[in-house]
Amino acid sequence: MASTAKKSVPTLTLAGARTALAAAEKRAQEIKVPMNIAVVDSACHLLAFERMEGAKITSISIAMDKAFTAAGHRIPTSSYKEAVWPGGPAYGINNSNGGRFSTIGGGVPIIDQETGAVLGAVGCSTGLPSQDEDVASAGVDAVKRVLAVKAKL
């Protein structure tokens, strides 16, 4: 019988992270914007990372921060908008977590359709925030498709 002192947490695997990386990279090539692509697990820790040829050096840590933030706060980093501007209820939140909390589009959580849990996140950086989110979403969607296929079996 299950103990209340422990539980099991669903999370992305390295295999899942690779699925996300490959799909994100493919999308980045389609839109012709080389990307830094970071994938974290449900505990916000890095699982896999790739810097495509031509991606910006100063976007390495930004990609990681976006994935970190999306997994931890469980919403896309593009969601903050008015909330973080002066007068908004979350103004200044980007200073939290040692400055790693990113409110720039390009971080997208991977939500488990089966449990509703956040399994991890993909963060991308080098292009416009909208391009970064587009590419990160391609990675997230690929993982969801794999999970959906498995669920049906």
Q: How far is the CB of 140 from a copy of itself (least distance, A)?
A: 11
Question: Contact between 43 and a copy of itself (CB under 8 A)?
Answer: yes
Distance CA 76, CA 103 (A): 9
Distance CA 135, CA 121 (A): 12
Per-residue contact flags (x/-) with a copy of itself for residues 1 to 20, judged by CB under 8 A: xxxxxxxxxxxxxxxxx-x-
Range list of H helices, the chain: 14-30, 60-73, 129-152
- CB 81: neighbour CB atoms within 10 A? 10
Q: Binding a copy of itself by CB under 8 A: which of 24, 69, 76, 136?
A: 69
Q: How far is the CB of 11 from a copy of itself (least distance, A)?
A: 5
Question: Contact between 62 and a copy of itself (CB under 8 A)?
Answer: yes
Distance CA 22, CA 40 (A): 15
Question: Contact between 44 and a copy of itself (CB under 8 A)?
Answer: yes
Q: How far is the CB of 130 from a copy of itself (least distance, A)?
A: 7
Half-sphere exposure of residue 48: CA atoms within 13 angstroms, side-chain side? 17
Question: Contact between 137 and a copy of itself (CB under 8 A)?
Answer: no
Q: Binding a copy of itself by CB under 8 A: which of 28, 47, 111, 122?
A: 47
